[in-house]
Every structure is written in C-alpha cells, then in structure tokens.
Structure 1
Amino acid sequence: MGSWKSTAAAEAYRCLLHADGREIKDARNEHVVRSVVSADTARAVLAAKGKLSTTELVRLRVRYFTDGLVLGSKEFVESIFEAQRELFGPRRKNGARRMAGAEDAFYTLRQLRIRPLD
C-alpha cells in the first residue's frame, strides 16, 4: 500500500470531498437544498483532478514564506543566496530549491522536506 504522498491520495480525497459536498437543488432546480460547495467550484476541482493551482498552494501554505526564508523565481532566490553567502556552509553550491507540489517554477532558499499539502 502506498503512502499519502506517493499515491495521489490527496488529489483523490479532494475530488471526493467536492463531489460529495456539492450543492443540491430541489426537484424544480430552483432552490438550493444543501449548499456546502457550489456546483461551479466542484466542477472546477473535478476538472483539475483535485490538483491545486500554484495560487492555492501558496495561499494554503504560508509555511513557504516563513520556513523557506525566501520565495520567488530561481534567479531571485539565487541573488539572495549570493548576497547572504556567509550564512551558509562551504559545501552548499547554490541557493534555490524547487518548491514541492507547485506546477509553476517557484523556489525557496531552504528545501522543505514536507510537501505543502501533507
């Protein structure tokens, strides 16, 4: 049995929550009987197969702003690393570490071992 990280269980679970929690209307399709997640939101999550956008990842995990020290493009993170080179050990060759789970190229100064949604 795979782990939560390796089996895309987070995406599947998010799809399940949105499918089960979608709004339900009455028989005439006029009034909402139960509204947890709007139908449009549920459709969007299911269309994305439960994956979060980069915007959602950053919004959900402020941790990358605090524990990652710096968040930005590879060039930006490298420039901060070079400016603060004396704070890092001699074996460290570069500063930019790719942000786990992001589709876009976001980098941090520290490699965080726990993924943003785990």
Structure 2
Amino acid sequence: MRAEQVDDPAEYRFCSYAAAMGGKASAIAGYRLIYGGRPFSEAIAAYRLCLFGKGAKPKGELDKDRGVIPLEKLDAMIRGGGKVEVSELLRRRVRYFSDGMAIGSKIFLKGLFDEHRECFPESRKARFASMKGAEWGELQVVRDLKVNIFG
C-alpha cells in the first residue's frame, strides 16, 4: 500500500483515512459529509470498500504498480462489508487502554471492580460506560471518556 510504505492504508498517517480511523473529528465529519450524512461506521465501511477495490487494481505500468493491495485482503474486505474489526479499532484507539482504566464486558469489569474495591473511592458505584466513537459491541470501560476520546 501507499508505494509499499505501509501494509494498511490506515497506517499511512498523512491521509484523511488514517486521521478518521484515529478519531480526528474533522476527518470523520468529512467522510460523513461525502457519504450523505450517514453514520461514520457506514460511511467509513463504504469508503473502505472503494479504497481497497481501487488499491487492488494494478495500474498497468511496472514502475507504478508498487503498493497494490493483495486480492486476499480485498476479498476479506468485501466479505466483511467494509466494516472495521473491533480488534483493528482497539489497536488504533490507545487512549481507551490508558485513561479508560480497563476494557471488557460489563461482567468482567464488575468482577475487576469487586476484586479491587479498595482502589476506588467509597462513593464509587460499580457503573461502567459504553465505549464511544465506533461500533464496539458490548465493550465497556471503567472510566467514561468525555473529551478527546481518540488521543
């Protein structure tokens, strides 16, 4: 990808796609605008299908065919409907790991909370926050991040 500089377009930090995948608000808003105001998860899935489809097509010139997306990656992207896997999202959203304290299911976090109750203020109740900014499924965090979620 990108003249063989990175394996995934989202890893090329000088593009709007990487910025959007990293949570930059203006990039997210741009993709939503381009795709008719659809939710970001739908807009980025549509864009990923377009990006990977175009990137898998050889340009027809030997000196310009560097960084072609392998057909296996394109096939997997199509089968997945362009959706971003939770594992990829987590890898790109480091702040949830540091400031969110712990990530997991509600049951997992409740067990962690109970096991380490002495680490929390007495007034703290066992409440957890759903993760924001993407389709995380049932994942939650101990601390609800309000500002600069994707730092």
Q: Which TM class, normalised by the smaller chain length?
A: 0.5 to 0.7
Q: Secondary structure at the match of 1:52?
A: coil
Q: Is the 8 A contact 1:71 1:77 kept in 2?
A: yes
Q: Which runs of 5+ in 1 are unaligned?
A: 27-32
Q: Give the TM-score normalised by the residue count of structure 2.
A: 0.55
Amino acid at match of 1:21: G
Q: Give the TM-score normalised by the residue count of structure 1.
A: 0.67
Q: Does 1:107 align with 2:107?
A: no
Amino acid at match of 1:18: F
Gap change, CA 1:4 and 1:73, over 3 Å in 2: closer
Q: Secondary structure at the match of 2:108?
A: helix
Task: Give the Cα–Cα distance (whole angstroms) in 2 for the partners of residues 111 and 3 of structure 1.
Answer: 25
* Aligned pairs, number: 107
Provide runs of 4+ in structure 1 moved above 4 Å.
none
> Per-residue CA shift, 1:12-61, capped at 9, x if unaligned?
111111111115286xxxxxx44332111011112111111221121121
Q: Which runs of 5+ in 2 are unaligned?
A: 1-35
The match for 1:54 among 60, 82, 86 is 86
Q: Does 1:13 align with 2:18?
A: no
Task: Determine what percentage of the aligned residue pairs are the same residue.
Answer: 31
* Structure having the larger proportion of residues in strand: 1
Q: CA deviation at 1:109?
A: 1.0
Question: Within 5 A, what are the aligned runs for 1:1-118?
Answer: 1-2=36-37, 4-5=39-40, 8-24=42-58, 33-82=65-114, 83=117, 84-86=119-121, 90=123, 93-100=125-132, 101-103=135-137, 105-113=138-146
* Structure having the larger proportion of residues in helix: 2
